[in-house]
Copies of this chain bind each other. A is one copy, B any other.
Amino acid sequence: MSTSPARRVIAKDTLEAFSASLLEAGGFRTDYARQSADLLVWANLRGADSHGVLRIPRYIEMVELGIVKGDAKPKLSREFGAVAVIEGDRVPGATGMSMAADKAVELAEKFGIGICSIVRTSHAGAVGYFTERVARAGMVGIAMTASKPLMIYHGSKLEGVSTNPISIGAPSRNAARPIVLDMSTAAVALGKVMAAKDAGKSIPPDWGVDSNGVATTDPAKVKAVLPMAGPKGSGLSLMIEILVSVLGGNPLISAALTDNRDAGFNGLVIALGPSAFGLGDDFEGEVNRLVRAIKSLPPAVGTDEVLLPGERGFLLAEKRLQEGIPLALGTISRLAEEAGKRGIAVPPELG
């Protein structure tokens, strides 16, 4: 977790402006570029570098390949009561999921709860970003995204479900510090397997399987990751596919497994308004009481502090807002290459 010397440090605003310029030069509409840059830098601030600006070259490539449309025009395709569905038109995920979050909040203001699905959006990155958006509106948010098979289905030797993440976020009295759980349904991020491989270390036997579908402790042999907690992880991922993709009208898993077709990327956001439950400011006060109760638990042996969901990320973000965001030299050189191709100036901090 320490900042290795093979890094440069850059201020948040500078990185965000540079990222937005790159995405815009790569074909993203100005507002889409800004929203995507905001999400990517949000992830870097919180130490989730694998969901940060290192994705930019691939995002631009996805526009070139037509997987993402830089000038997409998402449309509300369905609205009934507290339910809405957006036809995403391959809009960048940061924009698509933010639209879904805002629509869910709008519906929840009227009905107490609101749900908005978006189908055919694109990779949405760190899904906690969207429940934090709902929490900033004073509501509890639930967000999920669904994609093609990427993870072993428990009991099978092949990938049968995605690593579909789920986030649940709630506002607290400290507006800058909502509680945000953001978890993948996989046992581990593929990045951790790659890091163990680079470090020449073995991995726990419940992280991944080899090409025969058998669990392995050798990171070099990992062909696919295993679900979190065995059948629970793949079961939860399957139910997320049903909630997000089947209900949304764009099934991804059966398209992939049955028709060998990539049907894209879907997501959904649910918002719940505390006032509908008869709670006003009490709600945030009670969340704070819960926060204090959990923070007062005695730490386990070898642990300094009991942390809330998302707290490690918020602490790091506060530090990085002050001290800047460290970027690996590999990431910088790829961004600089992209900038060179498109005539965008590289910020001097990264030179």
CB within 8 Å of B: which residues of A? 77-78, 80-83, 85, 110-115, 117, 140, 152-153, 155-158, 160-161, 168, 170, 179, 181, 183, 187, 212-214, 228-229, 231-233, 235-236, 238-239, 241-243, 246-249, 251, 253-254, 257-258, 270, 272-279, 282-283, 286-287, 289-290, 292-294, 296-301, 303, 305-309
How distant is A85 from chain B, measured CB to nearest CB, in Å?
6
- The quantity of this chain's copies bound in the complex is 2
> A258 and B293 in contact (CB under 8 A), knowing A181-B235, A247-B277?
yes
- A113-B270, A258-B293 known; 5 other A-B pairs, CB under 8 Å? A153-B306, A183-B236, A212-B301, A246-B286, A258-B292
Residue of B81, B155, B170, B246 touching A111 (CB-CB under 8 A): B81
Query: Closest CB-CB distance, A223 to chain B, in whole Å?
Result: 13
Query: Inside 8 A of A229's CB, which chain B residues have their CB?
Result: 187, 228-229, 232-233
Interface of A (DSSP majority class): mixed
Residue pair A305, B274 in contact (C-beta under 8 Å) = no
Partner of A301, one of B85, B157, B251, B270: B157
**Structural contact, B276 and A81, CB atoms closer than 8 A:** yes
Given A153-B297, A290-B253, A112 contacting B82 (CB threshold 8 A): yes
A183, B235: Cβ atoms closer than 8 Å: yes
Q: Is A258 a contact of B289 with CB atoms below 8 Å?
A: yes
Contact present for A213 and B279 (CB under 8 Å): no
Report Cα–Cα, A247/B168, bound state, in Å.
13
Chain B residues within 8 Å of A282, by CB: 249
Residues of B contacting A115 with CB < 8 Å? 112-113, 272
| Distance A231 CA – B229 CA, assembled complex (angstroms) | 12
Q: Flag if B81 contacts A300 (CB, 8 Å).
A: no
**Distance of A99 Cα from B279 Cα, bound (Å):** 22
Minimum distance in angstroms from A211 CB to a CB of chain B = 12
Residue in B closest to A227 when the chains form the complex, CB atoms = B229
- A278 CA to B303 CA, complexed, in Å: 50
Bound complex: CA of A80 vs CA of B110, how far in Å? 9
Instruction: Decide if B232 touches A228 in the complex (CB within 8 Å).
Output: yes
- Given the complex, which residues of B lie within 8 Å of A286, measured CB to CB? 246, 251, 254
On chain B, the residues within 8 Å of A168 by CB distance are 236, 239, 242-243
CA distance A287 to B274 in the complex (A): 33
Which residues of chain B are near A183, meaning CB under 8 Å?
A: 232, 235-236
Is A83 a contact partner of B113 (Cβ separation < 8 A)? yes
Chain B residues lying within 8 Å of A242, measured Cβ to Cβ, are 140, 168, 170, 179, 287, 290
